[in-house]
Amino acid sequence: MKRSISSMSAWTAALLLCAGASQATHATPGRWAALTPLLAGTYGGKSGGSCAAQPATEGGATGALQVKANGKVQAPGIDIDVADSAIANIERRTTAAGIATSVALVAADQKTSLAVGRVSGMALAQARAGEQSFNCEGVRLPTALDKQALVLTLAGSLDTAGTIECSATPDEKPHPHPFALARGRATLGEHTLDLAAATDELVTRGPDGILKYHANLRDGRAFIAYYDEGGKVRNVVILDRGKDVLGCGPDE
């Protein structure tokens, strides 16, 4: 298992990575059902913010981007559904101005996507369908988006319990540790981490179906968990100020 963990990427870079992915995966109905209600709202138009369609389309200068709780997204020239998006980059960060959350959901064929969030102090909302895109900035973001830790919002995908083979060093023979993640708290052997109080969280899902959750805590510890396409925990890592404390799961 790779123990090196890269820093949380910028939102725009994550979108480029998503758009550049080439391998498709099968969608599971309701994959982001816990997340899309937090994105629901109208961006641009009379709700505030400035929007533009690219290429220009009728109503693009005065229209708005609408996201429904069920994941349906509509804008001038765009009518898509992101509820079952195969690729995702969801980030919740602590900034000088407070909590900032950003979400990017991309279809397996990369033809449709939705991105909503606060990046570099700017509130943005973007949708894409094929060659058509609709981009808004200076929008009013839903207050619900920042209120709860991702580990709680996505508990249906992240919560788990069982045992996993772990070792403290690469040379140590792995042995089973009880592991559970529930209500924002992770316990692994003698280690307990309050993930709901994390300063930064990142959830990604790649075109291969692997889901990754990464949390940084105020005390310098970090927690990373990988889930396979079926939702089973594959690897877990606990770090303290960048150094491995415990690594679990098969080497890769």
pLDDT in tens, 118-136: 988 899 999 999 999 999 9
What value does the mean pLDDT of the chain take?
87
- Type of residue at 90: I
pLDDT tens digits for range 76-90 = 999 999 999 999 999
Structure tokens at 51: 């929007």
**How far apart (Å, rounded) are the C-alpha atoms in residues 111 and 80?**
10
For Cα atoms 213, 216, 218, give the angle at the middle one, nearest 5 degrees. Answer: 155
Residue 15 has what pLDDT? 42
3 state DSSP class of 196: helix
pLDDT, residue 61, reads 66
By DSSP bridging, strand 87-95 and strand 78-81 are: unpaired
What structural domains and CATH numbers belong to the chain? 11-147 (no CATH), 151-248 (2.30.29)
Predicted local distance difference test score (pLDDT) of residue 14: 41
d(Cα 66, Cα 204) in Å, to the nearest integer?
A: 24
The residue length of the chain stands at: 252
Please state whether beta strands 50-54 and 132-137 pair in parallel, antiparallel, or not at all (unpaired).
antiparallel
Instruction: State how far the Cα of 204 lies from the Cα of 93, in Å rounded to an integer.
Output: 14
Give the Cα separation of 215 and 185 in Å (integer): 11
Q: How many whole angstroms separate alpha carbon 50 and alpha carbon 31?
A: 30
Reported confidence tier of residue 68, pLDDT bands at 50, 70, 90: very high
Q: What is the pTM of this model?
A: 0.85
Number of helices and strands (H, E) in the chain? Answer: 5, 19
Mapping DSSP to helix (H, G, I), strand (E, B) and coil, where does residue 39 land? helix
